[in-house]
Amino acid sequence: MRLRPTFSVRIVPLALLAAMGWLAATPAQAQFGPGGPPAVGVVTVRQRPMVESSEFVGRVLATDRVDLVARVTGFIQERLFTEGSEVDKGELLYRLERAPFEADLAAKQAAVAQTEALLKNATIQLNRARSLMNSPAGLVSAVDTAEAQRASYAAQLQANQAQARASQINLDYTEIRAPIAGKIGRTALAVGNVVTPASGPLATIVSQDPMYVVFPISVRAALELRNRYAGKGGFAAVQVRLRLPDGRVYDQIGKLDYADPSVAQGTDTLTLRARIPNPLRKGARADEVGNRELLDGEFVTVMLEGVTPVQALAIPRAAVLSDQQGSYVYVVGADKKVSQRRIELGQSTPELAMVTKGLKEGESVVADGIQRVRPGIEVNPAPVDAPPAAPAPGTPPAAAPAKRN
């Protein structure tokens, strides 16, 4: 007797199938679920004041650099500074052994005194010979001899005085003083060593405030900057800000003061130079390590900005996407549907992107929730806050807001 297999048929309610998403749905619902169009944040394209900015890689350099070199030969008797500290102009740094130079100066001064006495006696003899010319004992030859003798002693006195001045100068050179104010480096020779003018630099002083920032730019970029600011004042229409190696924006503003007259042949670049203040950090002392923000030889990012903001169509940087074809944004139309729009960007800031082509004032672009949109889908747009406008010229960057617990 054959047994037929039995089959149990389970009927799943239609409502349950729909809840589990097993029924056919529209493409948008299949992608985002049945909760309706995805919510996105949009920003209205409008004219905003923007600071035109271009970035370059630059190096900080001291405006003055002096190598301290001994002018005379002698033993180093004292070193009167702390390595790495700041020194004032005219401050005594090294003192060499003075005794040999003092003795030499005394000998030269004695020679001057001796010659002065001889000159005085020669003057008396000349006056006496002249007075005898009115008497029978007077001779013209005696007057001539006396005049020659006096002139000889006068010349010898000048020579001895010059030698005494040279000895005094050499004595003064035993005290090596700072020719400029700045930070002094390590000493090359310790106390007790003999130094000569051929010994090389004893130490190096680099000035601290202000500092130079030197950066190369391509000739093409230089021409663009020239054309952009020629009618606005040239160098005076541009200010320089720095981004430090740790990412912070330096709170001082610099000004361009020099451009090389020739182009570097190997790199086709032109070197520009700016002068920027480098004051003591708040609460720092002059003898403290790291008391100033900028260091000689430091690499920084140079941000060349226009002094006066310009009005331009701008959108948040977060709204701009890019691919191999260039930059684009998602535009939300009046029917709340999304379309992709190719755009061209101009001079931009870290927060705002200047749009030169592709958008019109008043259009809405997606700035928040971009990952949830695709061209052609319907969205639920809501306005979001746009980044702040450009600060007034000369205003330091605002500090980040404090986090709340």
* Residues 25-38: tens digit of each pLDDT: 333 333 444 567 88
- Asked if 306 contacts 229 with a C-beta cutoff of 8 angstroms, the reply is yes
In this prediction, residue 388 has a pLDDT band, given cuts at 50, 70 and 90, of: low
Cis check: omega of the bond before 397, within 30 degrees of 0: no
Residue 195 burial (C-beta neighbours within 10 Å; 0-12, 13-18, 19+):
buried
Q: Tell me if 347 sits within 8 A of 354, measured CB to CB.
A: yes
Does residue 359 have a pLDDT over 50? yes
Q: Are 202 and 76 part of one and the same domain?
A: yes
Please give the average per-residue pLDDT across 42-55, as a whole number. 81
Is 390 domain-assigned? no
Average pLDDT, the chain: 81
Q: Tell me, yes or no, whether 328 and 268 share the same domain.
A: no
Question: For residue 14, what pLDDT is reported?
Answer: 40
Mean pLDDT of 136-144: 68
Q: Is residue 10 part of a domain?
A: no
188 shares a domain with 232: no
Domain count, the chain: 4
Last residue of a domain, one of 131, 152, 173: 173
Average of pLDDT values for 351-373?
86
- Backbone φ and ψ of 311, nearest 5°: -85, 125
Asked whether residue 78 falls in the same domain as residue 103, the answer is: no
> Do 234 and 186 sit in the same domain of this protein?
no
Instruction: Clarify whether residues 73 and 202 are in a common domain.
Output: yes
What per-residue confidence (pLDDT) applies to 34?
Answer: 54
C-alpha 94 chain-centroid distance: 31
- CATH number of the CATH domain containing 352: 2.40.420.20
pTM of the model: 0.64
Question: What stretches of 134-207 adopt beta strand conformation (E)?
Answer: 175-177, 182-184, 194-195, 203-206
Would 340 be classed as within a structural domain?
yes
Domain interval for residue 168: 98-173
Same domain, 83 and 182: yes
